[in-house]
Amino acid sequence: MSAPCVLVLDDNPLPRLDRLKGRARVLHADESSLAELLPEADVLLVWNFTSDAVRDAWPGPGRRPVWVHTASAGVDRLLFPGLMTSDTVVTNARGVFDGPISEYVAGLVLAMAKDFRGSWELQRQRRWRHRETRKVTGTRAVVVGSGPIGRRIGRTLTALGVEVELVGRQERAQDADFGRVHASEALPGLLPEADWVVCAAPLTPQTRGMFDARAFALMKQDAHFVNIGRGPHVVEDDLADALLEHRLAGAALDVFGEEPLAESSRLWDVPTLFVSPHMSGDTLGWRDDLAEQFCDNFDRWHAGEPLLNVVDKKLGYVPHS
């Protein structure tokens, strides 16, 4: 029996797949060669998870990979009709980014509450100006997204003394961490009381554009908004208008509708907006963690065991266990 073929849609640096030596034939493709090599693959590792090449190269009827793994938590780039209607199993990198992203969000909350940006600017100007900043303990956060990342964010903020309301696709009347999980329909009623609103939802047709002018109008004037989910969750012009018109106190975006963010984008110049280049989950060694996770799942697949992190292609994410 020949060794299975693992095809890697590459990005630099390449993944460390030494554990597959002798058990799999590993091929590497870039965006231009993916279509030619894809019919050879039993398994496709989408290492370059910002690419749309799989959508363009996906074969029609005939041989296709039986398993596609993306080295990202979001799977929206893979939810095109040809893959969704196939029997190919899709898995994701659920679990790798939870801790780093929750730390990043907590850092943003503290930075905005304590006005670190103002302190750095006054230091640059050599100005000594005493100010009073905001206490985090006792504030309220609404975290949208009840998957592992959203839940980890909620637990981290709770440790800072923040009262957290978690919003998911469906209501859960009893939840071990948060008492209850609110259904998405409850979000408009939660926004007016929130000091911090954090978007950590998967990108689906239902969540696309969910934070628009109407949502921002429901928030308090001294509230802050953070998006570490997907760029299309936010209508960026509506957010910029709300910030520039002082209808929101501040915001932070780590993801954008178009990446990289164009130099001409007005978002760069919004004074109360933190802009970061899709890096909230990327800590030292994160690529090695992703490679190890894939190799662990390959061990299961090779042994005929159930894969971990199997995505429900209709829902667009890994369902709760």
The residues carrying an active-site annotation are: 230, 259, 278
Count of CB atoms within 10 A of residue 207's CB? Answer: 21
* Dist CA 230 CA 226 (whole Å): 11
Beta strands in 200-303 (DSSP E): 224-227, 250-253, 273-275
* Dist CA 197 CA 214 (whole Å): 14
SS3 5: strand
* Dist CA 181 CA 80 (whole Å): 30
Token digits of residue 35? 């279509």
Token digits of residue 262? 């164009």
Query: Can you tell me which residue has the tokens 């994701």?
Result: 92
Q: Tell me the one-letter amino acid at 178.
A: F
Token digits of residue 297? 């799942």
Q: Tell me the one-letter amino acid at 186.
A: A
| CA 139 to the chain's CA centroid | 24
